[in-house]
Amino acid sequence: MAMMTYLEAIRKGIQEEMARDENVVIFGEDVGGVKGGVFGVTKGLAEEFGDDRCFNTPLTEGQIGGLAVGLGLVGFRAIGEFQFADYILPAVNQLISEASRMRYRTKGDWIAPIVYRAPYGGGVRGGLYHSQSTEKVLFGQPGLRIVTPSSPYDAKGLIKAAIRSDDPVLFYEHKRLYRLLKEDVTDEDYVVPLDKANVVREGEDITVIGYGMVLNHALKAAETLSKEGYEAEVVDVRSLYPLDKETLVKAARKTGKVLLVTEDNLEGSIMSEISAIIAEEALFDLDAPIKRLAGPDSPSMPYSIALEREFLVDEEKVTNAMRELAEF
């Protein structure tokens, strides 16, 4: 066991996989050399594995996207880092037109085993272009997996599973969680499945579904509500696409009261799809309308402290929404 942050857990997972398989390579803007990424996730990897396997790319996100596909075609397991999830947008063509469809359009003759890593999320005074939850842009693209860990344990196990997977995996890392979360993580070689949601807290009164920073707010809010006599079931979506419908629907049925929390905009987020699935599958088990808690429908998160706070879903907002639903 070793105490590690969410960021250190991701780095450890990558380091273990690079040591285990010489075909694993990692690259991106500032990823190589002594810097090891603007957040330091890849620090030390170039020194340990050489500049051929851990290297800098020019400032060209489309190229990062396609380079990873090309390496996958000839047997490598490429990890391409997008410096911010906001900067994935120039690469969307490569991710959708190439990575997501290579297997399908050749019926498995050619495959693209890739991990695209991207730090996402707000609350870091990042303004419109360093705060976004762009996962909804790539959501609903069959062939592509999207996952995000919400704890250090999951961070290490999920990145390892993503690297070993023969599918292209978009791996979102929440910037606020990088150094906020710290826990004991086993030294054992383990993986966390890429297609399973995770019930992180059991309860009988309401079900809260979320991922990332807001999931951690929900866990704290659940303790507050517990003192008030309400027990919340808290589910980490973890596999953002394809969704683990079975676990999500089961958790919704269990309490009959569902709160969906995201730090993305209210409309058009992944929670909209989860809401539709629960409505289709579990309507007659529900005791209250499905409730969404999200950011307002402004274009991302403004820079000013007042505006950023207004946008963000925080612990207080989650607590209030959970209490309201519990009392419904």
Partner 1 sequence: MRKLEESGLTKEEIIEAYRHVLLGRRLDERLWQLTRIGKTSFNISGQGHEVGQVAMAMAFQPEKDYFLPYYRDMTACMVWGMTAKDIMLGSLGKEDDPSSHGRQMPNHYGSKEHNIVSHSSTVSTQFPLATGVAYGAQLKKADYVTLTATGEGSANQGEVQEAMNFAGVKNLPLIFVIENNGYAISVGTDEQYANETMAERGPAYGFPGKRVNGNDFVETYLAFKEVVDNARNGGGPALIELMVTRLTSHSADDDHSVYRTKEDIDNLKKNDGLLFFEKQLIDEGYLTREQMTDIDSELKKQINQATDEAEAMPEPTADTILDQIYAEK
Distance CA 168, CA 146 (A): 9
**Does 166 sit near partner 1 (CB under 8 A)?**
yes
Going by the DSSP 8-state scheme, the letter that residue 21 receives in this structure is: -
**Does 92 sit near partner 1 (CB under 8 A)?**
no
**Does 74 sit near partner 1 (CB under 8 A)?**
yes
Q: Which residues contact 48 (CB under 8 A, 6 or more apart)?
A: 15, 18, 19
Q: What's the min distance (Å) between Cβ of 227 and partner 1?
A: 43
Q: What's the min distance (Å) between Cβ of 135 and partner 1?
A: 18
**Does 220 sit near partner 1 (CB under 8 A)?**
no
Q: What's the min distance (Å) between Cβ of 277 and partner 1?
A: 18
Q: Which is nearer to partner 1, 78 or 282 (CB)?
A: 78
In contact, 259 and 225? CB cutoff 8 Å:
no
**Candidates 54-62, 257-265, 268-276, 278-286 — which segment interacts with partner 1 by CB under 8 A?**
54-62
> Is 130 a known active-site residue?
yes
**Candidates 30-38, 71-79, 129-137, 289-297 — which segment interacts with partner 1 by CB under 8 A?**
71-79
Q: Which is nearer to partner 1, 113 or 295 (CB)?
A: 113
- Among 137, 144, 188, 197, smallest CA distance to 166 is for 144
Which of 54, 67, 138, 301 touches partner 1 (CB under 8 A)? 67
Signed CA dihedral, 219, 221, 227, 228: sign only: negative
**Does 53 sit near partner 1 (CB under 8 A)?**
yes
**Does 143 sit near partner 1 (CB under 8 A)?**
yes
Q: Which is nearer to partner 1, 216 or 239 (CB)?
A: 239
Which amino acid would we find at residue 175? K
**Does 38 sit near partner 1 (CB under 8 A)?**
no
Q: Which is nearer to partner 1, 91 or 290 (CB)?
A: 91
Q: Which is nearer to partner 1, 99 or 252 (CB)?
A: 99
User: What DSSP string describes 177-205?
Assistant: HHHH-EEEE-SS-----TT--EEEE--SS
Q: Which residues contact 176 (CB under 8 A, 6 or more apart)?
A: 121, 122, 123, 124, 213
**Does 63 sit near partner 1 (CB under 8 A)?**
yes
- Among 93, 77, 232, 64, smallest CA distance to 159 is for 77
How many CB atoms lie under 10 A from the CB of residue 147?
Answer: 27
**Candidates 40-48, 50-58, 212-220, 253-261 — which segment interacts with partner 1 by CB under 8 A?**
50-58
Over the range 3-38, which residues count as b (16 or more CB within 10 Å of their CB) and which as e? ebbbbbbbbbbbbbbbeeeebbbbbbbbbbeeebbe
Q: Is 140 helix (H, G, I), strand (E, B) or coil?
A: coil
Count of alpha carbons within 13 angstroms of residue 142, beta-carbon side = 3
Query: Per the residue annotation, which of 11, 12, 53, 130 is the catalytic one?
Result: 130
Q: What's the min distance (Å) between Cβ of 195 and partner 1?
A: 9
Q: Which residues bind partner 1 (CB under 8 A)?
A: 25, 52-53, 57-58, 60, 62-63, 65-76, 78, 90, 93-94, 97-98, 101-111, 142-143, 145, 165-167, 242
Q: Looking at the annotation, which residues are catalytic?
A: 130
